[in-house]
Amino acid sequence: MISATKPFVKLHKYDQELVSDIQALNSSGYAKDDIYVLKWNPDKNHSNQRNNFYKYSTHFESAVGDIDSKAQFFDNGGEELRTKMEHLGLTKDEASALFREIQETDKTCILIVRDLKDNIIKMS
């Protein structure tokens, strides 16, 4: 486990709002190693669910900015995302609940920040 405290978690679309949040964190002194973007890629699952296909093919998302240089970026299927969330300090149940939530909403990635101290980014 990386930290004794729970990390800050926010569901996002892979879009300009995500980039803005990451830039705000960077300008407030948070390093790349403290910021994680976990992007769910249903193609890396064994999933052939029609809803997921349409979610990704009809809702084009674009994040303008170099996220890889400002945050740790992971583009994985479901099991890998849950494992990474657990590694970052969430319980197995919390990681599973977040993964279910990302499947049920229009969000496609999770922003996780270790030891967020201030209200640098909006909660919702």
3-state secondary structure of 27: helix
Calpha distance 50→31 (Å, rounded): 38
Q: What is the CA radius of gyration of the chain?
A: 14
Q: The whole model's pTM is what?
A: 0.81
Calpha distance 31→28 (Å, rounded): 9
Q: What string of pLDDT tens digits covers the 124 residues of the chain?
A: 344 578 999 999 989 999 999 999 999 999 999 999 999 887 776 544 555 554 554 444 566 677 888 999 998 888 889 999 999 999 999 999 999 999 899 898 999 998 888 777 876 5
